[in-house]
C-alpha cells in the first residue's frame, strides 16, 4: 500500500443518518472509486520529505507497474553523472521487463495489482466501518464544500487484520459540492492499532492529511499527503516520524513506454 493510500482508505465514508447526507456520501464514494481506478493510468512527479531532507522522483508506469526515477535531492537537480546513472537504471529496468517471460511479467504485475486490490478491499469495508455526520458547509481552496465528521461505527467487525486499523480512527472529510470529489481528508488515531502484521502498533497522536486536486477528465488525484506518526516497533521501542509527499505534473501514462 502506498503511504498516501493509507490516509485515503482510512477515511472512506460510511452510512449516514439522513437521506441527503447518504446521497452526498454515496456520490463521493463513487467519485473516489473512479479516481482510484484511473490512478494507474497516470505518470507524475513526486517529492518525499522525510528525515530532514527531500527526494524528488518521476514516477512512470512501465509495462504494467510503476517505476520511480530519482531527479533531485534536497531540491537540487542531480549532477550530470548522477543523471547518467539514473538513466542507466531506467534503461536496465526497461530491458529487463522487455525480456521477461510471461510468467515473470505476470508475477511482477500481480504484486502491483494485489496492492491495489488490498486498498480497494478497505474501500469496501469503510462503508461499514464509519458513521458520518454533516457539520456544515464552507469554502476551501476557493471551492464550496460539505464538511463531514467521521467516527468509528460501534460494533464494527473487520474481516481481516488490515481492516482492523479502521476501528481506532476518526476524522473529517471535505467534499466538493459541485463534483462530490474529496478536497481534503484528515484522520487521527484515537486508539492503538496494528498495521502490517504484529510487528508495529500505531499509537494515538498519529495524524494523516490528504489533499486532492483535479487532473482532467473528471479525475482528482492527490496533491499533498502528510503523516505524523507515533508507533511502537515490536510494541516496545517508541518511534516518531514526520513524512510529507507532494504530487504534481500528472499526465497520461505513455502506453508505449518500455514497449
What pLDDT, in 10s, does the model give residues 182-207? 999 888 888 776 655 545 566 777 78
- The percent of residues in the chain predicted with pLDDT above 90, rounded, is 49
Residue 214 lies in a domain: yes
Residue 7 lies in a domain: yes
- Residue 10 · residue 165 · CB < 8 Å: yes
Q: Average pLDDT, stretch 158-170?
A: 78
Mean pLDDT over all residues of the chain? 82
Residue 1 pLDDT grade (very low, low, confident, very high; cuts 50, 70, 90):
very low
Residue 23 lies in a domain: yes
- Residue 206 · residue 188 · CB < 8 Å: yes
Tell me the DSSP string of the chain.
Answer: --HHHHHHHTT---EESSHHHHHHHHHHHHHHHHHHHHGGGEEEEEEEEETTEEEEEEEEEETTEEEEEEEEETTEEPPHHHHHHHHHHHHHHHHHHHT--HHHHHHHHHHHHHHHHHHHHHHHHHHHHEEEEEEEEEEETTEEEEEEEEEEPTT---SSTGGGGGGGEEEEEEEETTT--EEEEEEEESS-EE-STTSEEEPTT-EEEEEEEEEETTEEEEEEEEEEEEEEETTTEEEEEEEEEEEEEEEE--TTTT-
Residue 242 lies in a domain: yes
Residue 259 lies in a domain: no
Q: Average pLDDT, stretch 65-80?
A: 97
Residue 238 has a pLDDT of 47
- The percent of residues in the chain predicted with pLDDT above 70, rounded, is 77
The total domain count for the chain is 1
Residue 22 lies in a domain: yes
Residue 257 lies in a domain: no
Residue 258 makes CB contacts below 8 A (sequence gap 6+) with 62, 63, 94, 97, 98
Question: For 218-229, what is each residue's pLDDT tens digit?
Answer: 999 999 988 876
Residue 14 has a pLDDT of 40
pTM for the full model? Answer: 0.80
Phi-psi group of 55: left, alpha or beta (phi > 0 → left; psi -120 to 50 → alpha; rest → beta) = beta
Question: For 111-154, what is each residue's pLDDT tens digit?
Answer: 998 887 776 676 567 667 888 899 999 999 899 999 999 998 89
Q: Alpha-carbon distance 228 to 208, whole Å?
A: 7
Q: Is the dihedral of CA 46, 222, 131, 156 positive or negative?
A: negative
Q: How many CB atoms are closer than 10 A to CB 199? A: 10
Q: Average pLDDT, stretch 242-246?
A: 86
Residue 240 has pLDDT above 80, yes or no: no
Residue 102 lies in a domain: yes
Domain that holds residue 43: 3-252
Amino acid at each position: 500500500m502506498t503511504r498516501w493510500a493509507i490516509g485515503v482508505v482510512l477515511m472512506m465514508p460510511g452510512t449516514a443518518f439522513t437521506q441527503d447526507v447518504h446521497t452526498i456520501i454515496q456520490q463521493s464514494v463513487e467519485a473516489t472509486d473512479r479516481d482510484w481506478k484511473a490512478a494507474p493510468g497516470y505518470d507524475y512527479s513526486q517529492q518525499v520529505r522525510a528525515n530532514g531532507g527531500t527526494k524528488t522522483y518521476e514516477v512512470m508506469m512501465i509495462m504494467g507497474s510503476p517505476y520511480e526515477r530519482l531527479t533531485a535531492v534536497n531540491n537540487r537537480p542531480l549532477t550530470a553523472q548522477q543523471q547518467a546513472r539514473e538513466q542507466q537504471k531506467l534503461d536496465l529496468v526497461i530491458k529487463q521487463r522487455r525480456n521477461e517471460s510471461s510468467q515473470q511479467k505476470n508475477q511482477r504485475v500481480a504484486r502491483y495489482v494485489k496492492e491495489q486490490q488490498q486498498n480497494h478491499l478497505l474501500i469496501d469495508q469503510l462503508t461499514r466501518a464509519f458513521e458520518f455526520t454533516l457539520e456544515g458547509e464552507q469554502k476551501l481552496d476557493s471551492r464550496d464544500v460539505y464538511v463531514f465528521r467521521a467516527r468509528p461505527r460501534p460494533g464494527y467487525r473487520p474481516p481481516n487484520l488490515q481492516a482492523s486499523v479502521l476501528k481506532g480512527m476518526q476524522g473529517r472529510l471535505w467534499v466538493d459540492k459541485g463534483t462530490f470529489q474529496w478536497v481534503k481528508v484528515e484522520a487521527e488515531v484515537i486508539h492503538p492499532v496494528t498495521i502490517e502484521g504484529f510487528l508495529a502498533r500505531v499509537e494515538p497522536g498519529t495524524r494523516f492529511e490528504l489533499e486532492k486536486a483535479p487532473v482532467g477528465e473528471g479525475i482528482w488525484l492527490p496533491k499533498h499527503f502528510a503523516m505524523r506518526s507515533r508507533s511502537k516497533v515490536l510494541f516496545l521501542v517508541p518511534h516518531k516520524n514526520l513524512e510529507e509527499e507532494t504530487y504534481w505534473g500528472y499526465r497520461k501514462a505513455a502506453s508505449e513506454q518500455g514497449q
